[in-house]
Amino acid sequence: MDWSPFRVCADDEKPPASRGIDSPEGLGDRLRTAAFAERQARDAFAWAAGHYADAPPWLREGWRRLSEEEGKHLGWLLRRMEELGVAVDGRPVSDGLYRSLTRCKDWREFAAYMARAEDRGRTAERHFEKVLAARDPETARIFAAIAAEEDAHIALQSGL
């Protein structure tokens, strides 16, 4: 898988821990991690829509739509990173989410795993929104907008 412009660590490596969110580097770490999570989700939703032929048609169509939304979120984060001078390839990230999703044995397992991943992401996004509200309102707004859309993503996956 070509993950450029991201720099991905080897399968057996963990990415470096994020630095403190109060520093520009720590904010960059969170933006990079969030952007890469959106990239993995975008690609995993598209993969699932084509891979799980036995999934209900409405769900496969939903996955295609969610893939597009994840791509939109990715664009928001990449633009913000560019505005702040954060290098996309500045530190390695892990593609463990994508690898785990594409190893799911069936569409039900994929949907459940994705719902849990989206819920963890939404929790982090809401936290970043609160932490950044006074210091960086634009980044806080982006995280809030992504978290709001994740609600619908989780509902689609959880309603099976």
pLDDT, tens digit, 9 for 90 and up, residues 26-80: 999 999 999 999 999 999 999 999 999 999 999 999 999 999 999 999 999 999 9
**Cis peptide bond prior to 24, omega within 30° of 0:** no
CATH number (3.40.50.720, 1.20.1260.10, 3.40.50.2000, 1.10.10.10) of 24-158 reads: 1.20.1260.10
Residue ranges of domains in the chain: 24-158
6: DSSP letter: S
Is the separation of the CB atoms in 139 and 132 below 8 Å?
yes
pLDDT of residue 151: 83
The answer on pLDDT for 159 being more than 70 is no
pLDDT of residue 150: 87
Angle, CA of 125, 126 and 131, to the nearest 5°: 95
The answer on pLDDT for 148 being more than 60 is yes
For residue 149, give the nearest of 81, 66, 31 by alpha carbon: 66
* Interacting residues of 86 by C-beta distance below 8 A, sequence separation 6+: 27, 28, 31, 32
The answer on pLDDT for 142 being more than 60 is yes
DSSP code per residue over 14-72: -PPPPPPTTSHHHHHHHHHHHHHHHHHHHHHHHHHHHH-TTS-HHHHHHHHHHHHHHHH
97: enclosing H helix or E strand: helix 96-101
Q: Which residue has the higher pLDDT, 28 or 150?
A: 28
